[in-house]
Amino acid sequence: MAGSPETAPPGYENLEPQPPTPLPPPSTPLLEIGQMVCGSCHQLLCYLRGSIHVQCACCQTVNFVLEAHQVGNVKCGNCSVLLMYPHGAPSVRCSSCCSVTEIGPHNTRQLVSVQQGQPAPP
């Protein structure tokens, strides 16, 4: 039986490719990561979406997180740098030239949730 083609010598295994084993589904949902710039040292910060505050690892400043629908934009009245401010703020201080720009009625907008609840004008 040593010369029989049905039996392989000891140490020889079947080397036919096996189908890949499917990976199990992740046990926890993937977390979404947001990014923002530190208001003090201007370092790029990463945070988990839904966070309210993020502490900068570089300068230890605690930054308030605002999502895109919670902020407005206005150009600085002195140097024209585009500034972001939380809705409802009466003014914003420029991080470049330190001047204060008043947020007038022409520079404010309503929150997205409020806008969606109003009917379209005729």
Concatenating the DSSP letter of every residue in the chain gives -TT-TTSPPTT----PPPPPPPPPPPSSPPPPEEEEE-TTT--EEEEETT-SEEE-TTT-PEEEP--GGGEEEEE-TTT--EEEEETT-SEEE-TTT--EEE--GGG----HHHHHHSPPP-
Domain count, the chain: 2
Q: List the one residue out of 80, 78, 71 whose CA is nearest residue 109.
A: 71
Q: Which pTM was predicted? A: 0.44
Q: Is position 61 within any domain?
A: yes
Quote the domain boundaries for residue 85: 70-107
Is 86 within a domain? yes
Residue by residue, pLDDT tens for the chain (122 residues) are: 455 556 666 666 666 667 777 877 766 667 788 888 888 898 999 999 889 999 999 999 999 887 767 788 889 999 999 888 888 889 999 988 999 999 877 555 554 444 444 444 54
Predicted local confidence at residue 19, as pLDDT: 75
Within a domain: 58: yes
CA-angle at 59, arms to 74 and 35, nearest 5°: 50
Residue 14 lies in a domain: no
Contact 49, 34 (CB under 8 A): yes
Q: Is 10 within a domain?
A: no
The answer as to whether 84 is a domain residue is yes
Residue 17, in any domain of the structure: no
Is 16 within a domain?
no
114: which 2 tokens?
């409020």
